[in-house]
Chains A and B, each alone.
Chain A
Amino acid sequence: MLKDFNKECPTVNDIASKKGPVDQWQIAAFARRRPRVQIPTGPHLFCIVFPREGKRKDINTLFAFRNSMNLINKDVVSIKDFSNKEIGHVLNVAEKMIPVAQGAKKSEMLKGKLLANLFFEPSTRTRLSFETAMKRLGGKVIGFDSSKGTSIEKGENIADTVRVVSGYSDLIVIRHPYEGSARLAAEFSKVPIINAGDGAGRHPTQCLLDLFTIRKEKGAIENQHVGLLGDLKYGRTTHSLASVLARMGAKLTCIAPQELQLPKEIIEECQERGTEPKLMNRLEDEIKNLDVLYVTRIQKERFPDPAEYKRIMSYYRIDKEVLGRGKKDLIVMHPLPRITEIASEVDSLPQAVYFKQAFNGVPVRMALLALILGGIK
């Protein structure tokens, strides 16, 4: 049966020359640069076309492929591209990566693999943690951390840069000031793309490490009462986090000055996912109910009047006294860099997990690299 099926299945060459029984979806799969799966609605048998290698797989392999949550070659552009199950799988793998991330255990999982870091904008934590993650797994890293001295300065576009670099490496990590640049890179790249921040847009690996930190510190994400505090209007990474927390069953309270409160469309998105976010102006009214307090920076430039900025900031500063009113097992998170929003006296308290959170970027990124490059299934 399988033999016959394979015999009847068109090869890539057949598709190219339009011979044999070619469905529309097969042409669509062929048009893409990497193996993709499309599930037809009808009951008929089908195959997955691997355009580059010209390989094909039968229906059983496909379901094995789905059940094992194989993330090989997956682009990581937005957290919305991940199902809850896939997020859980990444976090489980990240958990196993901790000893390797700490240097207590050696791994050669990605030996011979090459990661290209394309950072068109400066970054400290994200770039270094990707580099650490790749090297801890035995892989190598090439790349740049600003567009100075590259062909970008001569006017080359991202599409061409990505097409060229995807010929040099096995995976590309990209940060670019334009929103949607990672989605574009994924369209033109022959190798998988990981978005390391696209302007004010998405930053999926930050979101994953935030989720990992909550799960690791609190044991679960579901039913945790998470307070998002600070600039919730402009920080789109907070938008993705709010939306993904909502779909993973967390309770949400948004604490921000009215002018920096979570936008309406994100509130609606959370409601659609079954969570009704509570909107508050003052932290002191709510801190006693929170399990997690996620603090973000309120930027001075959002306030034309410096006195108003100072006044607002005084409501949102986290210190020992404020935390004294919260639960004993409350955790305080921050994507960093923090400026004055968390007093340094908090650093030594058990509630402060923001430096652990920054470290968690390494095992989470190791998990992603290992899953995408096939080091682990």
Chain B
Amino acid sequence: MKELKIQPIKNGSVIDHIPPGKALKVLRILSLPKKDTTSIISAVMNVPSETVGKKDIVKIEDKELDPDESDKVALIAPHATVNIIRDYEVIEKHALSIPNELVNIVKCPNPSCISNSNEPISPRFKVISKRPPIKLRCYYCEREPADIEAQII
């Protein structure tokens, strides 16, 4: 029987050190795969890790994550790292960091917030605490969403 294994990728991005069980959520946040996505995406879950015990890994072939996309991932996996691979070599490796302000990444759960109306604005949040538990405050109504993951656009 042919052995199926996660192979190193030639070009693309590897998101490492995702908390165990959250790999699929990371993909959902990145809206991957899209209808027109041609890249091969692999998600490995519950991988033993020397440093953190267990972790998930996501590999996206032929796609280099830009910082905006990385920011989104930081909301659910603040300790994850993104490796950019070109020709099997890691050409860039960076830890994710949450910016001070999030625009168009999380929507406000408050139905009475002006950002949920027909006004020409994008949902905007100030990051109050970058350390877990992450705290965000809506720029408009100043409410703090309790479940951030559920509000990611």
A interface with B by C-beta (< 8 Å)? 78, 80, 157-159, 176-181, 183-184, 187, 198-202, 265
Contact = CB atoms under 8 A, between A and B. Distances in A.
11 contacts: A157-B120, A159-B119, A159-B121, A179-B142, A180-B113, A180-B115, A180-B139, A184-B121, A184-B140, A198-B114, A201-B142
A159 B121 CA distance: 9
B119 A184 contact: yes
Interface of B: 110, 112-115, 117-121, 138-144
A200 B112 contact: yes
A265 B132 CA distance: 16
Given A78-B142, A178-B112, A187-B121, 8 more contacts: A157-B119, A159-B121, A176-B114, A180-B140, A181-B140, A184-B114, A184-B119, A198-B114
A200 B142 CA distance: 11
Contacts of B140: 179-181, 183-184
Among B110, B114, B121, B142, find the residue whose CB has the most chain A CB atoms closer than 10 A: B114
B142 A178 contact: no
Contacts of A179: 110, 112-114, 140-143
A306 B152 CA distance: 40
Nearest to A157: B119
A157 B118 CA distance: 7
Contacts of B113: 178-180
A187 B138 CA distance: 15
Nearest to A185: B114
A183 B113 CA distance: 11
Among A178, A180, A199, A202, find the residue whose CB has the most chain B CB atoms closer than 10 A: A180
Contacts of A178: 112-114, 117
B63 to A, nearest CB: 29
A180 B141 contact: yes
Nearest to A160: B120
Among A159, A176, A183, A202, find the residue whose CB has the most chain B CB atoms closer than 10 A: A183
Contacts of B117: 157, 178
CB-based closest 3 A-B pairs:
A180-B140, A179-B141, A180-B141
B120 A180 contact: no
Nearest to A180: B140
